[in-house]
Chains A and B, each alone.
Chain A
């Protein structure tokens, strides 16, 4: 039933039927927007009945726990290995894993790249908030140069901690990878562009084309010590120049 409201005459989409509310994310965090976006795509593509979501450790686990799909979560880092195996056993299910940037670029880097090398037919959603959100905002592989964190009190220094990690660009050249992209949700237009990326990435799995990854740049107001509005500015001025938006790979058929 479509109900009339004061704001709009048409129902654009329903509120996601989350299993667990409230979500538990900090005020101004982008995770809630992203999980809703994923939920919308699953709904629109009619995938919820066959979906299994593999959450990670840290904040991303809360989203996996909340979505009304079969889900597993908790371990920090090995989401790609877990998803790979489950997809092998259940090729007709839709399997996607949500990873933090530290999971993908540090502790789980081996499993992330190995799954891409094998061309596993799974989808990875990366949450790049430039830090370890749940443990107190420490240096992550994705922390921009100069960013102050509890473990880089003088700001990230390339001599000490190297340069920021770019997951989608890293795996895009691999032959088993069908799709690699990066988006943000800090403006409505970017949110819609990113939603399209998620949709495309999900389609690659349904077409059995191989590994797909979509990274989201996300605000972490608590650890960045910025207001939500200033976070959006930081994303514009610091994050996007370091982490370019767009598609790095989009194949229509398997590479032989």
Chain B
């Protein structure tokens, strides 16, 4: 029987990474996800790995890059302002096709924000890729079990496509405690890492160089064509979503992360009251499940986007449905209290559903 334990979301990020064979982790403390670093600092030395606390997030992401050059599985984690500091190294990694996993635990607001409280205000920031026109996959779990699975899946996707892969959680997911089944996953075979920089003696005397200077490339259009083909393969094979009670739904709620949990609660209550609401939950935020969402939206005829932000996911939903059905929006103004600790609760979502039907 699979072992079942109680675990927090943040501890699960760390545990999942170790389960995936990640022995090296680099980070700078930032609320609300520093528990990941605590776990790694405690556990990695036991398995011959290391946690190196960096001099800042910019350096943490460059350490991630440096460690990933070895071909080993490596990870960093941070929260919103920290991710802003990581943007240059992340673009370098996508450019030079150096795979690694980044876990971003969203905290509310721009600037310093609330200092680490709940919010979903980084959707647009993480789904538009890196500067320079390239994308990376983003997985959005909504439970501790999914964090455990998706962090491991992220390592697989990263190695399969030689691409930086992100797992996006938030304050609620990181700090909540849930039952977790310690399942093992087999995501399939992976290519050899013949590009890894471990000294040319490892490669029969043939040296390799990985460069981020596209200006030195002879074939710029060829570089972008290769990247576009890779994006297409990821879009075709890795786009993921979940539907819940959408078969006969008259209204389709679209939501991700913690607000998708709240929305699921609202769908259940609505159904008990005879209201036909359903939930569409994008799991990969990039690639976004556009076609699947459009089909479900056309079937339902009406869409309500629920997210704890001023409106970011709603833009992707509008793009997906292409104006063919009305898209309504329930955002940060729907919090049960106006303060930083406010949440969008199922009752509020249900109220909106009732008004729309």
The chain A residues found within 8 Å of chain B, CB to CB, are 19, 48-52, 54, 57, 61, 64-65, 67-75, 78, 81-86, 88-90, 93-94, 110-111, 114
Q: Chain B: interface residue count, which band?
A: 35 or more
A73 to B209, CA, bound (A): 8
Which of A19, A72, A110 neighbours the largest number of chain B CB atoms within 10 Å of its CB? A72
Partner of B211, one of A73, A82, A86: A73
Q: Is B351 an interface residue (CB 8 A)?
A: no
Q: Is B181 an interface residue (CB 8 A)?
A: no
> How close is B250's CB to chain A, nearest CB, in angstroms?
52
Q: Is B310 an interface residue (CB 8 A)?
A: no
| Given contact pairs A69-B207, A85-B52, A74 touches B92 in the complex (Cβ within 8 A) | yes
Residues of chain A within 8 A of B52, CB atoms compared: 84-85, 88
- For window 66-80 of B, CB contacts with A under 8 Å fall at 66-67, 69-70, 72, 74
Q: Could you jot down 23 A-B contacts, CB within 8 Å?
A: A49-B205, A51-B199, A65-B216, A68-B207, A70-B200, A70-B208, A71-B207, A72-B197, A73-B209, A73-B212, A74-B212, A78-B58, A78-B89, A82-B66, A85-B63, A86-B69, A88-B67, A89-B24, A89-B72, A89-B74, A93-B199, A114-B54, A114-B55
Partner of A54, one of B50, B66, B70, B198: B66
How many pairs of A and B residues are in contact by the CB < 8 Å rule? 122
Residues of chain A within 8 A of B129, CB atoms compared: none
> A81-B62, A88-B24 given. 4 additional CB < 8 A pairs?
A74-B96, A74-B213, A78-B59, A86-B67
Q: Is B331 an interface residue (CB 8 A)?
A: no
Q: Find the A residue at minimum CB distance from B55.
A: A114
Q: Is B319 an interface residue (CB 8 A)?
A: no
Residues of chain A within 8 A of B59, CB atoms compared: 78, 81, 110-111, 114
The chain B residues found within 8 Å of chain A, CB to CB, are 24, 26, 50, 52, 54-56, 58-59, 62-67, 69-70, 72, 74, 88-89, 92, 95-96, 197-201, 203, 205, 207-213, 216
Asked if residues A52 and B69 are in contact (CB atoms below 8 Å), the reply is yes
Query: Sorted from nearest, which 3 A-B pairs have the closest CB atoms?
Result: A49-B201, A74-B212, A82-B66
Q: Find the A residue at minimum CB distance from B196.
A: A70
Residues of chain A within 8 A of B54, CB atoms compared: 81, 114
Interface of B (DSSP majority class): mixed
Asked if residues A72 and B211 are in contact (CB atoms below 8 Å), the reply is yes
A111 to B59, CA, bound (A): 7
> How close is B251's CB to chain A, nearest CB, in angstroms?
48
> How close is B220's CB to chain A, nearest CB, in angstroms?
15
Residues of chain B within 8 A of A72, CB atoms compared: 66, 69, 96, 197, 209-211
A50 to B207, CA, bound (A): 10
A236 to B152, CA, bound (A): 58
| Given contact pairs A49-B205, A85-B52, A86-B69, A70 touches B88 in the complex (Cβ within 8 A) | no
Asked if residues B50 and A88 are in contact (CB atoms below 8 Å), the reply is yes
Asked if residues B70 and A86 are in contact (CB atoms below 8 Å), the reply is yes
> How close is A133's CB to chain B, nearest CB, in angstroms?
15
Residues of chain B within 8 A of A69, CB atoms compared: 199-200, 207
> How close is A148's CB to chain B, nearest CB, in angstroms?
28
A51 to B208, CA, bound (A): 11
Asked if residues B67 and A89 are in contact (CB atoms below 8 Å), the reply is yes
Q: Find the B residue at minimum CB distance from A71.
A: B209
| Given contact pairs A74-B96, A114-B55, A84 touches B66 in the complex (Cβ within 8 A) | yes
Asked if residues A85 and B211 are in contact (CB atoms below 8 Å), the reply is no
A51 to B26, CA, bound (A): 23
A83 to B54, CA, bound (A): 13
